[in-house]
């Protein structure tokens, strides 16, 4: 029994028509805490719990923190999540609904993370939002489920923030004998740390984050993301904030599921016939996002470029 659930896999008729090819959705927005993060975070929390951890500490104002809070509640382990000052009131409310102690510190995730690390005691476990082999192993279960359905895609489209999902999907492709399936890694133009790393040939810290897709807001991707780029076919794509937001709106209309702009980045590429021209069957990871509201998406759209 795992903390995450097996999520639906089905062809999206609207996206298939828009892209001119079969577009399949792995709907991880339906995980209990709202995003794919529960796969890796749940796995990490279960491992640490089995090793005797009495308290979980994390640093995330978004989906990773929610996944830790959910996992802690399910396992009966108290959770502290350190969030930056930029975290929305809704995100803090959702964390508290899961029973987590919320500490607000710093103007960025990096500053929140520094404080979180000082709170980890001898009997505690620190759960990183994206940079941990336990997370990647858990996220790889997404591809295990697709492989079990005997639906091998020609390409996988996913959004990239810190690189945890990318690292897990590549691990899943490899362990299922699908090393020939390329990954189309999508970022918004104002949060393209993987794109910058691929151009430089090594991880780099981008100067600033300028995107409404705050869940993609890692200034530097994990080193594992670059190892994936070096060992697996990974292609970088960027979309505008406006394209990501419009994709969220279309997805709500088409499939009655609200996702956040970070997920909208992948969905924007999923409707791009030119970007997908080389593939017949495309798998899109609908990674989700629990903190999005339709009102906020409409507000962002009013000024998005």
What is the C-alpha radius of gyration for the chain, rounded to an integer number of angstroms?
18
Specify the CATH class of 9-36+134-301 in words.
Answer: alpha beta
pLDDT tens digits, 201-215: 999 988 777 788 777
Q: What is the pLDDT of residue 6?
A: 98
pLDDT tens digits, 174-231: 999 999 999 999 999 988 889 999 999 999 988 777 788 777 667 888 999 999 999 9
pLDDT tens digits, 89-103: 899 999 999 999 999
Average pLDDT across each block of 10 residues of the chain; the chain has 305 residues. List them in order.
96 97 98 97 98 96 93 98 90 95 91 95 95 96 97 97 95 98 95 92 85 76 94 97 97 97 96 96 96 92 88
Handedness of CA 133, 99, 61, 110 (dihedral sign): negative
Q: What is the pLDDT of residue 210?
A: 77
Name the 3-class secondary structure at 203. coil
Provide DSSP, 208-246: ----S-GGG--SS--HHHHHHHHHS-EEEEEE-HHHHHH
- Strands of the 124-127 sheet, one edge to the other: 101-104, 79-83, 55-59, 124-127
Q: What is the pLDDT of residue 229?
A: 96
Q: Let me know: does 104 contact 87? Beta carbons within 8 Å.
A: yes
pLDDT tens digits, 149-160: 988 999 999 999
Q: What is the pLDDT of residue 206?
A: 84
Residues shown for the chain: 305
Q: What is the pLDDT of residue 59?
A: 94
CA 201/CA 188 separation, integer angstroms: 20
Q: Which helix (H) or strand (E) holds 187?
A: strand 183-188
9-36+134-301 and 37-131 agree in CATH topology: yes
Q: Which helix (H) or strand (E) holds 184?
A: strand 183-188
CATH numeric code, 37-131: 3.40.50.1100
CA 188/CA 211 separation, integer angstroms: 7
Domain coordinates in residue numbering, the chain:
9-36+134-301, 37-131
CA 267/CA 261 separation, integer angstroms: 9
């Amino acid at each position: 029994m795992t903390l995450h659930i097996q999520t639906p896999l089905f062809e999206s008729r609207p996206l298939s028509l828009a892209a001119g090819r079969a577009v399949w959705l792995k709907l991880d927005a339906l995980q209990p805490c709202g995003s794919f993060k529960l796969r890796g975070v749940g796995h990490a929390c279960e491992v640490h719990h089995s090793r005797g951890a009495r308290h979980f500490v994390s640093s995330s104002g978004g989906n990773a923190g929610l996944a830790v809070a959910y996992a802690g509640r399910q396992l009966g382990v108290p959770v502290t999540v350190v969030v930056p000052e930029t975290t929305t009131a809704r995100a803090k409310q959702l964390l508290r609904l899961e029973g987590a102690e919320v500490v607000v510190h710093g103007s960025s995730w990096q500053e929140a993370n520094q404080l979180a690390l000082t709170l980890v005691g001898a009997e505690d476990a620190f759960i990183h939002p994206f940079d941990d082999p336990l997370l990647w192993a858990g996220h790889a279960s997404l591809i295990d489920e697709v492989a079990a359905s005997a639906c091998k895609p020609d390409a996988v489209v996913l959004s990239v923030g810190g690189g945890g999902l990318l690292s897990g999907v590549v691990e899943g492709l490899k362990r299922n004998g699908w090393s020939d399936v390329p990954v189309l890694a999508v970022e918004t133009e104002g949060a393209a740390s993987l794109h910058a790393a691929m151009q430089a040939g090594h991880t780099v810290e981008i100067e600033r984050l300028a995107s409404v897709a705050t869940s993609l807001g890692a200034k530097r991707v994990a080193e594992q993301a670059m190892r994936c780029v070096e060992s697996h076919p990974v292609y970088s794509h960027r979309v505008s904030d406006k394209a990501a937001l419009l994709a969220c709106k279309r997805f709500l209309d088409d499939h009655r599921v609200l996702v956040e702009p970070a997920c909208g980045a992948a969905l924007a590429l999923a409707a791009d016939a030119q970007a997908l021209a080389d593939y017949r069957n495309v798998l899109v990871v609908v990674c989700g996002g629990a903190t999005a509201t339709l009102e906020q998406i409409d507000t962002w759209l009013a000024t998005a470029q």
